[in-house]
Amino acid sequence: MSIKIQNVKGTKDILPANSQLWLETESIIHNFMSLHGYKLIRTPIFEKTELFNRTIGEDTDIVTKEMYTWTDVDGTSLTLRPELTASVVRSFVQNNLQAKSPLHRLYYIDSSFRRERPQKGRQRQFTQYGIEALGSIHPEQDVEVILIAYRIYEMLGVKDLEVHVNSIGSKDSRTNYVNALRDYLMPYKNDLSEISQNRLHSNALRILDSKSDKDKKVLENAPKIFDFLTKEDVKNFNKIQSLLTELDIPFISDSNLVRGLDYYNGMTFEIVSSSIGAQSALCGGGRYDKLVEYLGGKPTPAVGFAAGLERLMLILNDSMSEANNMIDIYIISMDDKSISSSLKIADKIRNTHGIKVVCETLRRSMKAQLREANKLNAQFVIIIGEEEIAAGEVIIKNMEDSSQINAPIDSVENYFGVDYEYK
Ligand code: AMP
């Protein structure tokens, strides 16, 4: 008896109709990172649970309810990574990278896993790309990180981009601010949403992130983090803003922007686009100067961002061009015997020019093969049959203008040049 098994809720297959776009976008990201001097790092898909519990924060949504965690046979608690920063820093420390250079520019493209409620742009397995710049405490480094995040979207033509930037200061200014925020909110406790009421004690800063109108109203007159920053924090933040202006990166200074994860300090930023609906956050990041030390490394300031690839794909999908799915040549075999000759011709053309050539292997009728060539958007078809083989010639047909010529079978590859045009 057969059994039909479905994929796991919140996961998605990337099917051939889409995979080309994925490959191209990933390749753009790889090139873009390399252009800025960033090097790829790959870490394992799972880590000891403690790594995430201790770095992301015990009272965050990720740690309390979204991680895929299990106990291994030896009793170790393991977790599928819900994000990559903790893993990258773990690896940085473990492999003693800081001893090799004062500055490391690292990037990744990999899967992350969170047991969230799936919806458009939100999955349980999703792909993140991001960078971690480890070593510089200076605002130029913050700006380089924001610049890379922003320019990728700009280059890919993403519309309605908004860059939100904030500074949540050093740990001490943050502690003072959280106390002041809590004191302010306490009298309004019953006016807050249930989730914010729960956060009042465990993670009051997160209330600023709330999307609830009730909470927004209460927050209107709340103390602002900016008033709690040290002089040095303010100086840094001002420098970041002036550099962004010089680089023509439009931004909104947004005092309510706090990042959900515990390890951030100083600059935080987020890039959103209203063109992807409710899950409008494309990318988020900021500084995390204490994390390396916290994970046992030498004190190393760091700044980075993480961006969701699926959300970017939602936008690019809409603008995907036909060209992505084009092949150069389809070889039509008029009879079964000539298929073997078509395999040889295809092999020769691909090896000579590195262009996309597809042969018939289903032994279909000529009409069906022509239909297939059209479906694949072939620019040319080569037609071969017993008669052609006997005459030592094939027919090359230009699918755009329907013109055709005969070409010698032994040197058909010479009829295609670098521009994919036959002579
Ligand atoms: P975060 O670490 O939560 O700031 O996530 C960074 C980026 O990853 C977000 O801005 C999203 O683009 C993406 N992202 C986070 N969670 C998900 C998810 N469940 N599904 C798809 N993308 C996500």
The H or E element containing residue 57 is none
What is the pTM (predicted TM-score) of this model? Answer: 0.86
pLDDT reported for residue 261: 66
Q: Binning pLDDT at 50, 70 and 90, where does residue 188 land?
A: very high
How many residues are listed for the chain in this entry?
A: 423
In angstroms and rounded to an integer, the radius of gyration of the C-alpha atoms of the chain is 28
More confident residue, 33 or 315: 33
Predicted pLDDT of residue 208: 85
User: Minimal CA–CA distance to 374: which of 334, 350, 402?
Assistant: 402
Q: How confident is the model at residue 36 (pLDDT cuts 50, 70, 90)?
A: very high
- At CB < 8 A and 24+ separation, what contacts does 17-24 make? 17/325, 18/313, 18/317, 20/324, 20/325, 21/313, 21/316, 21/317, 21/320, 21/324, 22/309, 22/313, 24/324
**Quick one: pLDDT at residue 423?**
45
Q: Which pLDDT value is given to residue 260?
A: 61
Bridge partners, 331 (sequence order): 359, 382
Angle in degrees, 0-180, between the axes of helices 231-246 and 139-155, rounded to the nearest 10: 40
Residues 65-97 have pLDDT tens digits of: 999 999 999 999 999 999 999 999 999 999 999
- Ligand 1 atom at shortest distance from the alpha carbon of 82: 2
Pairing of strands 161-167, 265-273: antiparallel
Q: Which amino acid is residue 80, in one-letter code? A: L
The 10s digit of each residue's pLDDT in 398-407 is 999 999 999 9
From the CA of 80, how far away is ligand 1's center (Å)?
A: 15
- Please, which residues have CB within 8 angstroms of residue 72's CB and are 6 or more apart in sequence? 78
Identify the burial level of 189 via C-beta atoms within 10 angstroms of its C-beta, where 0-12 means exposed, 13-18 middle and 19 or more buried: exposed
Mean of the per-residue pLDDT values for the chain? 91
pLDDT at 384 over 70: yes
Q: Which of 227, 234, 223, 229 is nearest to 173 (CA)?
A: 229
For residue 239, what pLDDT is reported?
97
Q: Is the pLDDT of residue 259 over 80?
A: no
User: Contact, 306 vs 284, CB < 8 A?
Assistant: yes
Closest by CA to 269, choosing from 130, 123, 84, 384, is 130
Mean pLDDT to the nearest integer, 171-185: 89
Exposure string for 124-136, b = 16+ CB within 10 A, e = fewer: bbbbbbbbbbbbb
Starting from the edge strand earliest in sequence, which strands make up the sheet with 329-333, in order? 357-359, 329-333, 380-384, 393-398, 404-408
Residue nearest to atom 10 of ligand 1 (CA): 283
Task: Return the residue whose CA atom lies nearest to atom 11 of ligand 1.
Answer: 308
List pLDDT tens digits, range 93-151: 999 999 999 999 999 999 999 999 999 999 999 999 999 999 999 999 999 999 999 99
Q: Tell me, in angstroms, the distance from the centre of ligand 1 to residue 317's CA.
A: 18
- Ligand 1 midpoint to CA 307 (Å): 6
CB contact at 8 A, 283 and 305: yes
Residue 263 has pLDDT above 80, yes or no: no
User: Using 50, 70 and 90 to split pLDDT, how confident is the model at 318?
Assistant: low
Q: What is the largest CA-CA distance in the chain?
A: 94
Within 13 Å of residue 226, how many CA atoms lie on the same side as its CB?
12
Q: Identify residue 50 by its one-letter amino acid code.
A: E
Question: Pocket residues for ligand 1 (CB within 6 Å)?
Answer: 83, 114, 116, 121-123, 126, 128, 281-284, 306-308, 310-311
Which amino acid type is present at position 87? S
The protein residue with its alpha carbon nearest to ligand 1, atom 17, reads: 122
265: three-class secondary structure by DSSP: strand
Nearest CA to ligand 1 atom 8: 308
